[in-house]
Structure 1
Amino acid sequence: MSQTRISPVRGADLIFALKTFGAATLALVIALWIDLPRPYWAMATVYITSQPLAGATSSKALYRVLGTITGAAASVALIPNLVNAPELLCLAVALWTGLCLYLSLLDRTPRSYLFMLAGYTLALIGFPAVTDPASIFDTAVARTEEITLGIICATLVSTLVLPRSVAPVVGAKVEGWLAQARRLSRDVLLGGGARTEDQVNRLHLAVEALEIDTLATHLAFDRLADHNAVRGLRALRLHMLLLLPLLGSVRDRLAALDDRIRPELAELLQRLARWVMAESEDREPVSALHSAISALRPALDANTSWDQIMTASLLIRLRELIDISEDCRALNTAIAADADSSQVALTFRTEEGIEPARHRDHGLALWSAAGVIVAILVSCAFWIGTGWVDGASAPMMAAVACSFFAAQDDPAPSIRNFAIWSLVAIIVVAVYLFAIIPAISNIEMLIAALAPAFILFGILIAHPSTTPIGMALGANGATLLALQSTYNADFESYANSALAFMIGMAAAIVLTRLVRSARAEWIAQRLLQTNWTNLAETAERRGHNDRATFVGLMLDRLGLLAQRFAAIPEADRSELAGLSQLRVGLNIIDIRRARHGLATPTLSAIDAMLDRLAAACRNRAAVPMPPDLLACIDNAMTRALDEPPARPKEDALIGLVGIRAALFPEAPPYDAHADHPRSLVA
Structure 2
Amino acid sequence: MMVPGGIRMEHVLFSLKTFGAGILAYWIALQCGLPNPYWAIGTVYIIVTPLSGGTTSRAVYRLAGTVLGAVMIVVLVPNLVFSPLLLSLGIALWCGLCLFISMLDRSPRSYVFMLAGYTVALSGFTLVQVPETSFDVAVARVEEIAIGILCASVISRVVFPQQAGPVLAHRVEGWLDNARTLTRDVLTGEADSAVLREERHKLAADAVALRGFTDQVDHEGAAGRVMADRMAALQQRMIAVLPLLSEIEDLLAALGRDATTSVDRSTILERVVHWLTPGAFDLSAAKAETDALLAEIDQDRAHLEESARDWDVLLALRLTGRLKDLVEVWADCEVLRSDLSSGEAHTLRRTLATRHRQGRELHIDYGIALRSALSVVIVTLVGCGIWIWSGWSYGAGIAQIGTILCCVLAAMDNATPVLRKVVTLMLIALGAAFFYKFAIMPMVGSFYALAAALGLVLIPAGVLLAVPATWIMGFQVSVNLIYMLTLDNQVSTNFNAFANASLATFGGVALAMITLATVRAVSTEWSAARLLHSGWRAVADVASGARQIDPELIAGRMTDRLGLIAPRLALLPAGSEVQENDILRDLRVGLTVLELQRIRREMPRRDHRLLDDLLDQIATHYQQGTAGLAKRKEAVAEALDRCLNEVLFEVGPASSRLRDALVGLRSGACPGLAPPTFTRPARSLIA
Q: Which runs of 5+ in 2 are unaligned?
A: none
Residue 598 of structure 1, CA deviation: 3.0
Rounded Cα–Cα distance in structure 1 between residues aligned with 2:312 and 2:465: 58
| Aligned residues of 2:528 and 2:578 also touching (Cα < 8 A) | no
Q: Match for residue 17 of structure 1? A: 15
**Is 1:373 matched with 2:382?**
no
Q: Match for residue 58 of structure 2? A: 60
**Is 1:516 matched with 2:520?**
yes
Query: Residue by residue, what CA displacement relative to the aligned partner does 1:10-63 show, whole Å, maximum 9, x if unpaired?
Result: 222111111111111011000000000010111111111111111111112222
Q: Match for residue 105 of structure 1? A: 103
Rounded Cα–Cα distance in structure 2 between residues aligned with 1:410 and 1:18: 35
**Is 1:645 matched with 2:652?**
yes
Residue 225 of structure 1, CA deviation: 4.7
Residue 239 of structure 1, CA deviation: 0.9
Query: Residue by residue, what CA displacement relative to the aligned partner does 1:479-515 show, whole Å, maximum 9, x if unpaired?
Result: 1111122223311111111111111111111222222
Rounded Cα–Cα distance in structure 2 between residues aligned with 1:456 and 1:69: 32
Q: Match for residue 467 of structure 1? A: 471
**Among residues 134, 137, 141, which one is paired with 1:136 in the alignment?**
134
Rounded Cα–Cα distance in structure 1 between residues aligned with 2:4 and 2:125: 47
**Is 1:316 matched with 2:321?**
yes
Query: Residue by residue, what CA displacement relative to the aligned partner does 1:84-113 show, whole Å, maximum 9, x if unpaired?
Result: 211111111111111111111111111111
Rounded Cα–Cα distance in structure 2 between residues aligned with 1:606 and 1:350: 34
Query: Residue by residue, what CA displacement relative to the aligned partner does 1:120-140 show, whole Å, maximum 9, x if unpaired?
Result: 101111111111111111111
Flag the 1:568–1:213 CA change in 2: closer, same or farther, 3 A: farther
**Is 1:631 matched with 2:630?**
no
Q: Which runs of 5+ in 1 are unaligned?
A: none
Flag the 1:543–1:315 CA change in 2: closer, same or farther, 3 A: farther
Rounded Cα–Cα distance in structure 1 between residues aligned with 2:543 and 2:188: 33
TM-score where L is the length of structure 1: 0.94
Q: Match for residue 164 of structure 1? A: 162
Flag the 1:544–1:300 CA change in 2: closer, same or farther, 3 A: farther
Rounded Cα–Cα distance in structure 1 between residues aligned with 2:209 and 2:5: 21
**Among residues 195, 199, 202, which one is paired with 2:200 in the alignment?**
202
| Aligned residues of 1:543 and 1:590 also touching (Cα < 8 A) | no
Q: Match for residue 672 of structure 1? A: 678
**Is 1:265 matched with 2:272?**
no
**Among residues 608, 614, 617, which one is paired with 1:609 in the alignment?**
614
Rounded Cα–Cα distance in structure 2 between residues aligned with 1:169 and 1:249: 32
Residue 631 of structure 1, CA deviation: 0.8
**Among residues 387, 394, 400, which one is paired with 1:396 in the alignment?**
400
SS of structure 1 residue aligned to 2:558: helix
Letter in 1 for 2:635: D
Rounded Cα–Cα distance in structure 1 between residues aligned with 2:211 and 2:308: 46
Query: Residue by residue, what CA displacement relative to the aligned partner does 1:281-312 show, whole Å, maximum 9, x if unpaired?
Result: 38781122122112222464897111221121
Flag the 1:527–1:4 CA change in 2: closer, same or farther, 3 A: closer
Q: Match for residue 533 of structure 1? A: 537
Q: Match for residue 664 of structure 2? A: 658
Query: Residue by residue, what CA displacement relative to the aligned partner does 1:499-534 show, whole Å, maximum 9, x if unpaired?
Result: 111111111112222222211111111111111111
Rounded Cα–Cα distance in structure 2 between residues aligned with 1:672 and 1:482: 80
Q: Which moved more, 1:399-408 or 1:298-307?
A: 298-307
Letter in 1 for 2:469: S
| Aligned residues of 1:231 and 1:341 also touching (Cα < 8 A) | no
Residue 226 of structure 1, CA deviation: 4.1
**Among residues 474, 483, 490, which one is paired with 2:487 in the alignment?**
483
Flag the 1:19–1:185 CA change in 2: closer, same or farther, 3 A: same
Rounded Cα–Cα distance in structure 2 between residues aligned with 1:326 and 1:540: 35
After the TM superposition, which residues 33-182 of structure 1 pair with which residues of structure 2 at under 5 Å, given as runs?
A: 33-182=31-180
Rounded Cα–Cα distance in structure 2 between residues aligned with 1:80 and 1:374: 23
Query: Residue by residue, what CA displacement relative to the aligned partner does 1:340-399 show, whole Å, maximum 9, x if unpaired?
Result: 2436699x9994543431111111111111111111111111111111112211111111
| Aligned residues of 2:558 and 2:587 also touching (Cα < 8 A) | yes
| Aligned residues of 2:532 and 2:578 also touching (Cα < 8 A) | no
Letter in 2 for 1:267: T
| Aligned residues of 2:96 and 2:377 also touching (Cα < 8 A) | yes
Rounded Cα–Cα distance in structure 2 between residues aligned with 1:4 and 1:411: 24
| Aligned residues of 1:542 and 1:607 also touching (Cα < 8 A) | no
Letter in 2 for 1:340: A
SS of structure 1 residue aligned to 2:625: coil
| Aligned residues of 2:414 and 2:520 also touching (Cα < 8 A) | yes
**Among residues 323, 332, 345, which one is paired with 2:337 in the alignment?**
332
**Among residues 442, 448, 452, which one is paired with 2:446 in the alignment?**
442
Query: Residue by residue, what CA displacement relative to the aligned partner does 1:595-649 show, whole Å, maximum 9, x if unpaired?
Result: 3433445433222111110011000232215112111111122233354311x32
Rounded Cα–Cα distance in structure 1 between residues aligned with 2:363 and 2:574: 21
Flag the 1:427–1:345 CA change in 2: closer, same or farther, 3 A: closer
Q: Match for residue 387 of structure 1? A: 391
**Among residues 586, 590, 600, which one is paired with 1:585 in the alignment?**
590
| Aligned residues of 1:166 and 1:219 also touching (Cα < 8 A) | yes
Rounded Cα–Cα distance in structure 2 between residues aligned with 1:171 and 1:320: 25
| Aligned residues of 2:525 and 2:578 also touching (Cα < 8 A) | no
Rounded Cα–Cα distance in structure 2 between residues aligned with 1:349 and 1:355: 10
| Aligned residues of 1:398 and 1:505 also touching (Cα < 8 A) | yes
Letter in 2 for 1:271: R
| Aligned residues of 1:423 and 1:502 also touching (Cα < 8 A) | no
Flag the 1:226–1:365 CA change in 2: closer, same or farther, 3 A: closer
Rounded Cα–Cα distance in structure 1 between residues aligned with 2:353 and 2:370: 39
Flag the 1:182–1:13 CA change in 2: closer, same or farther, 3 A: same
| Aligned residues of 1:532 and 1:618 also touching (Cα < 8 A) | yes
Flag the 1:592–1:349 CA change in 2: closer, same or farther, 3 A: farther
SS of structure 2 residue aligned to 1:563: helix
> Identity of paired residues, percent?
35
SS of structure 1 residue aligned to 2:394: helix
Letter in 2 for 1:411: A
**Among residues 342, 345, 357, which one is paired with 2:361 in the alignment?**
357
Rounded Cα–Cα distance in structure 2 between residues aligned with 1:639 and 1:658: 16
**Among residues 182, 189, 192, which one is paired with 1:191 in the alignment?**
189
Letter in 2 for 1:631: E
Flag the 1:505–1:344 CA change in 2: closer, same or farther, 3 A: closer
Letter in 2 for 1:379: G
| Aligned residues of 1:27 and 1:150 also touching (Cα < 8 A) | yes
Q: Match for residue 288 of structure 1? A: 292
**Is 1:254 matched with 2:239?**
no
Rounded Cα–Cα distance in structure 2 between residues aligned with 1:61 and 1:303: 60
Residue 417 of structure 1, CA deviation: 2.1
Flag the 1:232–1:267 CA change in 2: closer, same or farther, 3 A: same
Flag the 1:676–1:98 CA change in 2: closer, same or farther, 3 A: farther
SS of structure 2 residue aligned to 1:311: helix
Rounded Cα–Cα distance in structure 2 between residues aligned with 1:299 and 1:342: 34
Q: Which moved more, 1:440-449 or 1:352-361?
A: 352-361
Rounded Cα–Cα distance in structure 2 between residues aligned with 1:5 and 1:435: 33
Rounded Cα–Cα distance in structure 2 between residues aligned with 1:568 and 1:107: 31
SS of structure 1 residue aligned to 2:488: coil
Rounded Cα–Cα distance in structure 1 between residues aligned with 2:3 and 2:440: 39
| Aligned residues of 1:67 and 1:114 also touching (Cα < 8 A) | yes
Rounded Cα–Cα distance in structure 2 between residues aligned with 1:484 and 1:271: 71
Rounded Cα–Cα distance in structure 1 between residues aligned with 2:137 and 2:328: 60
Residue 261 of structure 1, CA deviation: 3.1
